[in-house]
Chains A and B, each alone.
Chain A
Amino acid sequence: MVRLYAVVAAGSFRRYATYRAATAAGVFTNTVFGFILAHTYTALWDERPGLGGYDLSQAVTYVWVCQALLMTCATMGGGFEDELVERIRTGDIAIDLHRPADPQLWWLARDLGRAAFHLLGRGAAPLLLGALAFDLALPASPLPWLAFAASVALGATVSFALRYLAALSAFWLMDGAGVLHFSWLAGMFFSGMLLPLTVFPGALGELARLLPWSSLLQIPVDVLLGKRTGWALVHAYAFQLGWAAVLLGAGRLLQSAATRRVVVQGG
């Protein structure tokens, strides 16, 4: 069981690793955006020091860690979901259903393999470049990094669960692109990619911090910045685990509904 999904994840990792030019182009994009956002944040935090509870150095760190995690947590897409939607549309999903494997675990393994590659391939370089150009508030001891890694893994799982739900809609809509775009848009805003969610006041801020997308970027970055330690860290993990369980459970229900009514496209 475990071995199968380990092979799937490892294969997925290597699959992404074969596209070196794409990885280099992605690193370049992430770095450029990192610089643009870091300067925007600098201007903003100069005007409003301590905005959202971050000092300037923490705010700029927030930018660079977000850029490093952008692909890992597939905040704006780029994960397995395009392929799954396409397989449902063309009917290739029939092949997946002929396998003695659980589709949700299968795709989860693939997406986590991809996330692991993107963390190293797309995440490390921009963060390093950011650290060279800016004064980042990165922890010096290993413990916060370990806590961060666990939170990233949970965030990637929540992200998978959200996109799995969106992608399965293709069974009913035949074209899942619209739902996926909506899910990416929601991810872009509610993950905290544009601005930290702690910046937003009132009910919108409360809501944004309670929605599952905050598991993708806001929580892992806060863990790394040492904003969540002790019981607050346990609370953060519980929040991420809770959403992962709820969303994966919903995915299972939707999956069994989908495969029961499956009308596989094409002969």
Chain B
Amino acid sequence: MAEEAIRTADPVRTGGLIELDGLERVFDVRRRTGPLRREKTRVRAVDGISFTVSRGEMVGYIGPNGAGKSTTVKMLTGILTPSGGRLRVAGIDPSRERTRLARRIGVVFGQRTTLWWDLPLIDSYRLMHRMYRIPDARYRQNLERCVELLDLGALLDVPVRQLSLGQRMRGDIAAALLHDPEVLYLDEPTIGLDVVSKAKVREFLRDLNAERATTVLLTTHDLTDIEHLCNRVMVIDHGRLVYDGTLTGLHAIAPGERILVVDLEHRLPPIEVAGARPVRVEGPRQWLAFPASASAAPIVAAIADGYPLVDLSVREPDIESVIARMYSERPAGPVRPRGSS
């Protein structure tokens, strides 16, 4: 009900919940070039990005290190002021009204924690209760739901410093959601997590989006996150948006290859099977590449048939290789060196 009131009080006039129009951020970087001389260079960390995200969308925001992802997210949350362009989140100019916006968004950093390190998890949630002025009933309801879905029941009385990385991550996600944010920014939410924890986090996020229509912007290095969660993916590189569309579409213009890592009983010459090509041999371990769009099953079956197979795993294409491939497939696209303008 509180949510309804907020929405009517501040209607989003245009369609998008997040709107960027020619957003720019320039940093002046001073570099020592001599004992007394310093050279000032301008780095365009974000160089004219425009996009719109509608309410309820779940969008992957990906790119190599230093592409400008974090800089964009910092501007979206208002802790960094844009150098140029226009930016609105839920109708609010983030850097002007950071605190007002903060009540309506949730932020999770995979590598940092918002939780109170030395105190039991529940204390951090009580703090959120007061900080976001969450009505008591609403707080209890949301906490109960998060505790159930993120499996936090046994952890509430444990000091945060004693939690494992996966537990802490789940704790952080719950902390970001107690105040029913309309937008959730997730920065590498599955980094360093084991397979089971990753799956738990992804399942929770999917349900959250389905049930509450929470808009999610996800930055990640793990394309599997995107595959499981996002219908739409935006690729940023050198501060520019180089792709905006479906993941399937991205694979189509930058056909990735998956890698099959095969452990044999003993050293053998490179495996020869239809649909895959050997890329590396190291003792009894071999690496085979096959198109990301193809199924691994027939290849695995063929190898198991003809070779003394001990173990195998499949590696998904990483973001760097997808982006590298985008450029190699479309050599016409301008690749501008950093800080060239």
Given contacts A8-B127, A100-B99, A263-B27, contact A94 B112 (CB under 8 A): yes
A101 to B179, CA, bound (A): 14
Please tell me which one of the listed residues B27, B81, B112 contacts residue A95 in the complex, with CB atoms under 8 A apart.
Answer: B112
Please tell me which one of the listed residues A11, A18, A101, A264 contacts residue B80 in the complex, with CB atoms under 8 A apart.
Answer: A264
Q: Which residues of B contact A100 (CB under 8 A)?
A: 99-100, 102-103, 131-132
Surface stretch bound by A, among B118-126, B280-288, B327-335: B118-126
Given contacts A100-B102, A263-B27, contact A94 B74 (CB under 8 A): yes
Closest chain B residue to A7, Cβ basis = B130
A-B contact pairs, 29 of them (CB 8 A): A3-B130, A4-B130, A4-B131, A7-B130, A11-B123, A11-B127, A14-B123, A15-B118, A18-B159, A91-B112, A92-B112, A94-B109, A94-B112, A95-B113, A95-B114, A97-B79, A97-B98, A98-B79, A100-B102, A100-B132, A101-B131, A259-B79, A260-B81, A263-B27, A264-B79, A264-B80, A267-B65, A267-B70, A267-B111
Number of chain A residues whose Cβ lies closer than 8 Å to a Cβ of chain B: 25
Q: Which residues of A contact B112 (CB under 8 A)?
A: 91-92, 94-95
Q: Which residues of A contact B114 (CB under 8 A)?
A: 95, 98-99
Closest chain A residue to B77, Cβ basis = A98
Closest chain A residue to B115, Cβ basis = A95
A151 to B288, CA, bound (A): 74
Tally the A-B contacts, defined by beta carbons under 8 Å: 64
**Is A98 a contact of B80 with CB atoms below 8 Å?**
no
A3 to B139, CA, bound (A): 16
Given contacts A97-B98, A98-B79, contact A15 B119 (CB under 8 A): yes
Q: Which residues of A contact B116 (CB under 8 A)?
A: 11, 15
Closest chain B residue to A106, Cβ basis = B131
A265 to B77, CA, bound (A): 16
Query: A262 in the interface, Cβ–Cβ < 8 Å?
Result: yes
Number of chain B residues whose Cβ lies closer than 8 Å to a Cβ of chain A: 31
Please tell me which one of the listed residues A3, A4, A19, A98 contacts residue B102 in the complex, with CB atoms under 8 A apart.
Answer: A98
Closest CB in chain B relative to A100 CB, distance in Å: 4
**Is B127 a contact of A7 with CB atoms below 8 Å?**
yes
**Is A264 a contact of B130 with CB atoms below 8 Å?**
no
Q: Which residues of B contact A101 (CB under 8 A)?
A: 99, 131
Q: Which residues of B contact A94 (CB under 8 A)?
A: 74, 79, 109, 112
Query: B260 in the interface, Cβ–Cβ < 8 Å?
Result: no
Closest CB in chain A relative to B135 CB, distance in Å: 13
Chain B facing A: main interface SS: mixed
Q: Which residues of A contact B58 (CB under 8 A)?
A: none
A15 to B161, CA, bound (A): 12
A262 to B79, CA, bound (A): 8
Identify the A interface with B (CB < 8 A): 3-4, 7-8, 11, 14-15, 18-19, 91-92, 94-95, 97-101, 259-260, 262-264, 266-267
Q: Which residues of B contact A263 (CB under 8 A)?
A: 27
A33 to B4, CA, bound (A): 61
Please tell me which one of the listed residues B113, B123, B131 contacts residue A99 in the complex, with CB atoms under 8 A apart.
Answer: B131
Q: Which residues of A contact B98 (CB under 8 A)?
A: 97
A94 to B77, CA, bound (A): 10
Closest chain A residue to B69, Cβ basis = A267
Contact with A along B58-82 (1 / 0, CB 8 A): 0000000100011000100101110
A262 to B127, CA, bound (A): 25
A4 to B133, CA, bound (A): 9
Closest CB in chain B relative to A121 CB, distance in Å: 15
A107 to B206, CA, bound (A): 36
Q: Which residues of B contact A19 (CB under 8 A)?
A: 118
Query: B107 in the interface, Cβ–Cβ < 8 Å?
Result: yes
Complex A-B, nearest 6 residue pairs according to Cβ-Cβ distance, in ascending order: A100-B102, A4-B130, A97-B79, A15-B118, A267-B70, A100-B99
Closest CB in chain A relative to B73 CB, distance in Å: 10
Closest CB in chain B relative to A136 CB, distance in Å: 35
Closest chain B residue to A19, Cβ basis = B118
Closest chain B residue to A101, Cβ basis = B131
B229-272 residues at the A interface, CB under 8 angstroms: none
**Is A95 a contact of B109 with CB atoms below 8 Å?**
yes
A71 to B61, CA, bound (A): 47
Closest CB in chain B relative to A88 CB, distance in Å: 13
A202 to B122, CA, bound (A): 56
B159-189 residues at the A interface, CB under 8 angstroms: 159, 187
A267 to B123, CA, bound (A): 28
A99 to B107, CA, bound (A): 9
A266 to B73, CA, bound (A): 13
A264 to B45, CA, bound (A): 13
Closest CB in chain B relative to A212 CB, distance in Å: 29
Q: Which residues of A contact B69 (CB under 8 A)?
A: 267
Closest CB in chain A relative to B194 CB, distance in Å: 22
Please tell me which one of the listed residues B65, B70, B102, B119 contacts residue A11 in the complex, with CB atoms under 8 A apart.
Answer: B119
Closest CB in chain B relative to A257 CB, distance in Å: 13
Q: Which residues of A contact B130 (CB under 8 A)?
A: 3-4, 7
**Is B74 a contact of A264 with CB atoms below 8 Å?**
yes
**Is A99 a contact of B118 with CB atoms below 8 Å?**
no
**Is B102 a contact of A99 with CB atoms below 8 Å?**
yes
Closest chain B residue to A259, Cβ basis = B79
Closest chain A residue to B185, Cβ basis = A98
